[in-house]
């Protein structure tokens, strides 16, 4: 029995250097969201769609990055709605939360990329598993 945070079993042996590198890219591609609107979702999505049938490790890590970035997008939308509904008064709470969320996103994305580059399955501490 495995929980949502446990990595899947290794797909048979050592993860190749190509798979480790592509898994690294699947996590770090979400940083494109700093430049391109929705880039944080599009980067991992494209890598997942392209590599899901040929590289099992990349498929897993790209899905993980995609789920994490979708989760953060949902949280960001909720924080924005709270700010708007409260006519800006909620910004006292939502702005600091947004800043903390942004810092956590950056740190966790880099950590995930480094772990993937080492060939280790990485699970983000808080992510809805929407893409299975």
When mean pLDDT is compared across 25-29, 117-121, 125-129, the lowest value belongs to 125-129
Domain housing 61: 17-117
Q: Is 105 within the bounds of a domain?
A: yes
What is the per-residue pLDDT for 8?
56
Q: Is the pLDDT of residue 63 over 60?
A: yes
When mean pLDDT is compared across 8-17, 47-56, 90-99, the lowest value belongs to 8-17
Q: Is 84 within the bounds of a domain?
A: yes
Q: Is 11 within the bounds of a domain?
A: no
Q: Is 45 within the bounds of a domain?
A: yes
What is the per-residue pLDDT for 72?
95
Number of Cβ atoms within 10 Å of the Cβ of 82: 15
pLDDT band at 14 (very low <50, low <70, confident <90, very high): confident
Q: What is the DSSP letter of 30?
A: G
What is the per-residue pLDDT for 2?
47
What is the maximum span of the chain, computed from C-alpha positions, in angstroms? 55
Q: Is 59 within the bounds of a domain?
A: yes
The reported pTM is: 0.86
Q: Is 109 within the bounds of a domain?
A: yes
Q: How many domains are there within the chain?
A: 1
Rounded CA-CA distance 59/64 in Å is 9
**27 by DSSP, 3-state: which?**
helix
Q: Is 124 within the bounds of a domain?
A: no
Average pLDDT over residues 72-91: 95
Q: Is 93 within the bounds of a domain?
A: yes
Rounded CA-CA distance 44/58 in Å is 10
- Whose tokens are 């979400």? That residue is 30
CA angle 1, 53, 48 (to 5 degrees): 80
What is the per-residue pLDDT for 12?
53
């Amino acid at each position: 029995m495995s929980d949502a945070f446990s990595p899947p079993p290794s797909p048979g042996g050592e993860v190749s250097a190509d798979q480790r590198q592509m898994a690294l890219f699947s996590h770090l591609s979400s940083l494109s969201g700093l430049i391109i609107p929705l880039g944080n979702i599009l980067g991992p999505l494209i890598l997942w769609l392209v590599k899901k049938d040929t590289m099992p490790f990349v498929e897993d890590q790209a899905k993980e990055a995609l789920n994490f970035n979708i989760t953060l997008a949902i949280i960001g939308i909720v924080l924005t709605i709270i700010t708007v509904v409260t006519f800006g008064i909620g910004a006292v709470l939502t702005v600091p939360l947004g800043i903390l969320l942004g810092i956590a996103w950056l740190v966790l994305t880099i950590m995930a990329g480094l772990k993937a580059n080492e060939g280790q399955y990485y699970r983000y501490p808080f992510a809805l598993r929407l893409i299975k």
